[in-house]
Amino acid sequence: MKLKIIIIYMVIEIFTFSNDIGVISSFNSLHLGWKSKNYKKFAKVISLFDLIGLEEVMNETGIKKVKKELEIETGEKWDYHISEKKVGNGRYKEYYGYIWKENKVKFIKYYGFYKEKKNEFSREPYGAEFKIGKFDFTYILCHFIYGKNRAVREKEAGYLDNVYDYFQRKNGREQDVIIAGDFNLPSYNKGFKEIYAGKDNIFAVVNSKYKTTIGKHSLSKSYDNFFLSYKYTKEFTGDYGVYNFTNKNYSIVRKTISDHLPIFIEVDTTKDDD
């Protein structure tokens, strides 16, 4: 399956999405639930996506506040799911979360955390099943450890193929698996060689030349991405984007919204190839 990638890297207010298109996003929410968050502005950033996977959710109160602001912003009903526990090492732990438009997205069930064969991840990836139109899929969220050095991150990346295989077995007949999150590595890093070598022809969607993290004075790294299968996820239209909402106010945005940009993909909701 050959896909034509169209890069979208612009102010989101000018986007228009067809009713037959679903827009799936991943966003490192930077300590969602802590006092420094501007929930109104945070909700505005993600309001035009249909389903958003959130990393770095610190408590359920934070995601409830985002839901409230989204409903004010859009005039639509939203719902959410938060992982049943926090994951992480030591005193610092976080939840995964999903939030979605009720009139567009159906939450089917959650599969929970990846069951490790050994101590593979600081924060085990988390999966849930959704349906948008006719397209049903398993959406897996990851937040890799930053670590003291790159080798620690690369070690986690080396287990990503196990995560893909685990959830594809877990969800039965459904073959569409979408993995997304903050990997703290660019997609070309050698740590991902195992998942690229798999039988289902997995690829990283976001080109590494597009920065997804926010430094104090500029955009910084390409750490956020989607991993999809050419073999199965043919509902992916080939269109994706990185939403740069900063207006170059980097230091302010980092404090009040996030130190990452949301990434997104478009999917055709009129078909499901399993």
pLDDT of the residue at 37: 95
pLDDT digits (tens, 9 = 90+) for 135-188: 999 999 999 999 888 999 999 999 999 999 999 998 877 789 999 999 999 999
- Across the range 197-213, mean pLDDT stands at 95
pLDDT digits (tens, 9 = 90+) for 26-68: 999 999 999 889 999 999 999 989 999 999 999 999 999 999 9
The number of C-alpha atoms within 13 Å of 140 and in the hemisphere containing its C-beta is 27
Query: Would you list the domain boundaries of the chain?
Result: 22-268
Q: How confident is the model at residue 17 (pLDDT cuts 50, 70, 90)?
A: low
CATH superfamily for domain 22-268: Endonuclease/exonuclease/phosphatase (3.60.10.10)
Which range (1-5, 115-119, 130-134) has the least confidence?
1-5
pLDDT at 255 exceeding the cut of 90: yes
Mean pLDDT across the chain? 92
User: d(Cα 28, Cα 30) in Å, to the nearest integer?
Assistant: 6
